A and B are shown apart, each in its own frame.
Chain A
Amino acid sequence: MTGSTATAIGYAGSARLRWLELAPWLVAAALYFFAPTYLPLGSYILIMILFALSLDLILGYGGIVTLGHSAYFGFGAYVAGVFAIRMSGDPLLGLAVAAIAAGLLGLATGAVILRTHGLALLMLTLAITSILFEVANKWTTVTGGTDGLHSVPIQPILGMFRFDMFGKVAFLYCLVVVAACWWLVRTIVRSPFGVALAGTRENDVRMHAIGAPVYRRRLAAYTISTSLAGTAGALLTQTTQFAGLSVLGVELSGEILVMLVLGGVRRIYGAFVGPGVYIAAKDYLAQQSPEYWYLGIGILLIFIVMFARGGILGLLDRALARLKKARA
């Protein structure tokens, strides 16, 4: 990383908010005022942004390669659904319960799997989401099995804002939650804790040597990340009033990984650009022909790995750097 990579985020960078960092929120506002028919799609993109953001924390900053992050997203989604049906339809309470539940699951599973590395770790994350998928599939009395949880009851937010059929309140609700989580992640990666986390990624032997508690740092990051993923899952259940099997399993884990990498890993805003581009493109292309969608995304992935490791934002960075050089 050279100094010219303006969007690189980390401890070394200034903590002051740059103008460009407001861009995602301006886009969201523009969507709200000028394209109200796309609000449900916008809510979905916001939810996936939060999910990708949670993955960026452990994958990008922590270096934990996982194929099982959907376990926590799906767990949050189902907890929010079951909680709303059996206990209370209050959305904020449900969100908090789902976030805590997913975080506890992350803490419990992370405490075990983070002791391993490489293929074993990859397989364990894969096994966890597969096990949860089987549980959700077979435990029909609670999860509804293949039918999922239908018409999950959701009360008005704070007793004042009722979810409307155009998805306006749902969109704003997602926007506020995602913004809060964004601020949290942004603060974390700039904190000393974030630096220690990056250290464990870059060289865990040295981190051990200087006496840093590597395992505890990674576990803390994993817990925070899984809690955020659970929050995203809960948002999906609450805004669609539905939770089905597609929120779990390897496929979603792979998809969110692809979205994050498409935008750019380890730069926070990659998690905004990736899901936005991916979902918009999928919404447009997959309806016309799923074959070409798969072909396109496959070739794009291979291209990114071979030539553009930084994803879309990485390409932009390079283009900007070249422009600056040409001017100088």
Chain B
Amino acid sequence: MDAFLASLFSIAFHGLAYGMILYAISVGLSVTMGLMGFVNLAHGVFAMAGGYLMYTVMDRLGLPWLPALVVACVIVALGSMVLERLLYARLYKAGELEQVLFTIGLIFVAVALARLAYGTLPLAAPLPDYMKGQTEVFGRSFPTYRVVVIAVSAVLTAVLWFGVERTRWGAMVRAAVDNRAMAQAVGINTGVLFTLTFALGSGLAAFGGALGADLIAITPTYPFEQLVYFLVVVAIGGLGTLRGPFLGALFIGIGDTACKYWVPEFGAFFIFVATMAILLWRPQGLLGRAQ
């Protein structure tokens, strides 16, 4: 019984760490898809870029861990703004197929560039010493790195939720998600709003990718391999919401960890069956609003 309880704790903890990373990466996808109705399959590219850039910044510039993480996120956010203005913005009014194809093309380019620059082996920025040991939480010992992942993501999530629920910018974003034409009519510059939100979402993805590099290995095929997970989180959570993907990420994070622990022979089976069941029950996602 005690062993079972210990395994339950362990699954909840590791699942939580994985889920938090999934959330950090996917929440930007949820907002941009909800805001612009853009099917952005290339979202994982920003997460991968965050991981690789953090490695480069630490390796070449010799910055410590935390500043390197921040620098990587800022670079990715700025880079995504350029991409958004130059390419994405031209396709907001295009059909679903065009958006899917364009973002697949973007993934191909990113995969090729990553392979040329970093090779095919997984890379991760080295963890500082203070994150390598174990930490006591509630009388149990957990890996410090994962505790940090959970804590930092929780703080970030709180800031994000506060920002969207309580600030002027958040009100503008929510207004634009609800009714873009009306938001435009009352004088909100939706173009600028889109660009800034897109940059924020990409920056968050970079944050998740870089912080979670020891949980989800950074390889050139990252955007393809992880894409399904990000999409699943957003789809079952609900587009254009903050809480939906949080629920989805925790569900997938803990469910996937539990499956790997108890029934490893089923692999990723659980995730896809659960996704199908949830989408057939609520096509708009758990917390999404019916159209």
Indicate if the CB atoms of A123 and B235 lie closer than 8 Å. yes
User: Is A120 in the interface zone, CB < 8 Å from B?
Assistant: yes
A226-261 residues with Cβ-Cβ distance < 8 A to B are 250-251, 254, 257-258, 261
Q: Which residues of A contact B101 (CB under 8 A)?
A: 257-258, 261, 301, 304-305
Q: A258-B101, A305-B101 are in contact. Are A297 and B108 (CB under 8 A)?
A: yes
Residues of B within 8 A of A258 (CB): 101, 104
Chain A nearest CB, measured from B191 CB (Å): 19
In the complex, whether B100 has a CB less than 8 A from a CB of chain A is: yes
How many angstroms between the C-alpha atoms of A117 and B39 in the bound complex? 13
Report the count of interface residues on B (CB-CB < 8 A): 46
Nearest chain B residue, comparing its CB with the CB of A131:
B272
Nearest CB to that of A262 among chain B residues?
B101
Is there contact, CB below 8 Å, between A291 and B102? no
Closest residue to B96 on the A side, CB-wise? A65
- A253 to chain B: closest CB distance in Å? 10
Given contacts A292-B112, A298-B112, A299-B105, contact A123 B100 (CB under 8 A): no
| A152-171 contacts to B (CB < 8 Å) | none
> CB within 8 A of B272: which of A116, A120, A130, A298?
A130
- Answer whether residue A216 sits at the interface, using C-beta atoms and an 8 A cutoff: no
**B49-57, B153-161, B165-173, B277-285: which lies at the interface:** B277-285
Query: A98 an interface residue at 8 Å Cβ cutoff?
Result: no
Cβ < 8 Å to A, chain B residues 68-106: 87, 90-91, 94, 96-98, 100-102, 104-106
Among A52-67, those with CB < 8 Å from B are 59, 65, 67
Cβ contact within 8 Å between B91 and A305: yes
A119 and B228 contact, CB distance less than 8 A: no
B145 to chain A, nearest CB (A): 29
Contact digits for A100-139, partner B, Cβ 8 Å, 1 yes 0 no: 0000000000001001111110111011101100110110
Determine the chain A residues whose CB is within 8 A of the CB of B108 once the complex forms: 294-295, 297-298, 301
Min CB distance B67 to A, Å, is: 31
> Separation in Å of the A302 CB from the closest CB of chain B?
4
- State the majority secondary structure of interface residues on B: helix
Query: Which residues of A lie under 8 Å from residue B116 when comparing CB positions?
Result: 291, 295
Cα(A297)–Cα(B106), bound, Å = 10
Query: What's the least CB distance linking A104 to chain B, in Å?
Result: 18
CB distance from A203 to the nearest CB of B (A): 14
Asked whether any CB of chain B lies closer than 8 Å to the CB of A300, the reply is: yes
Asked if B109 is at the interface (CB within 8 A of a chain A CB), the reply is yes
Which of A65, A128, A295 makes the CB contact (< 8 A) with B276?
A128
The answer to whether B105 touches A301 (Cβ under 8 A) is yes
B122-130, B131-139, B208-216, B262-270: which lies at the interface: B262-270
Task: List, in ascending order, chain B residues with CB within 8 A of A217's CB.
Answer: none
The answer to the question of B275 belonging to the interface, with a C-beta cut-off of 8 Å to chain A, is: yes
Using Cβ atoms and an 8 Å threshold, which residues of chain B touch A209?
none
Known: A138-B267, A302-B102. A294 touches B109 (CB 8 A): yes
Q: How large is the interface on A (under 10, 10 to 19, 20 to 34, 35 or more residues)?
A: 35 or more
A138 CB, min distance to chain B CBs, angstroms:
6
A309 interface hit (Cβ, 8 Å): yes
Task: Check A254 against B104 for contact (C-beta < 8 Å).
Answer: yes
A261 to chain B: which residues have CB within 8 Å? 97, 101
A120–B232 alpha-carbon span in the complex (Å)? 10
B268 partner residues in chain A, CB cutoff 8 A: 130, 134
From B111, B272, B283, contact of A294 by CB (8 A) = B111
Chain A contacts of B224 at CB under 8 A? Answer: 250-251
Within 8 Å CB of A213, what residues of B? none
Q: Mark A290-323, 1 if CB is under 8 A from B, else 0.
A: 1111110111111011100100000000000000
Sampled A-B contacts (29; CB under 8 Å): A67-B100, A116-B279, A116-B283, A119-B33, A119-B39, A120-B283, A122-B96, A122-B100, A123-B231, A123-B275, A126-B228, A126-B231, A127-B275, A128-B276, A130-B272, A134-B267, A135-B269, A290-B115, A291-B112, A291-B115, A294-B109, A295-B108, A295-B116, A297-B105, A299-B109, A300-B105, A301-B102, A301-B105, A305-B91
Query: Which residues of B line the A interface, CB within 8 A?
Result: 33, 39, 87, 90-91, 94, 96-98, 100-102, 104-113, 115-116, 224, 227-228, 231-232, 234-235, 239, 265-269, 272-273, 275-276, 279-280, 283-285
Closest 3 CB pairs of A and B: A298-B108, A301-B105, A298-B109
Other A-B pairs beyond A298-B106, A298-B111, A301-B101, 11, CB < 8 Å:
A119-B235, A120-B283, A123-B279, A126-B228, A134-B268, A138-B267, A257-B104, A295-B108, A305-B98, A306-B87, A306-B90
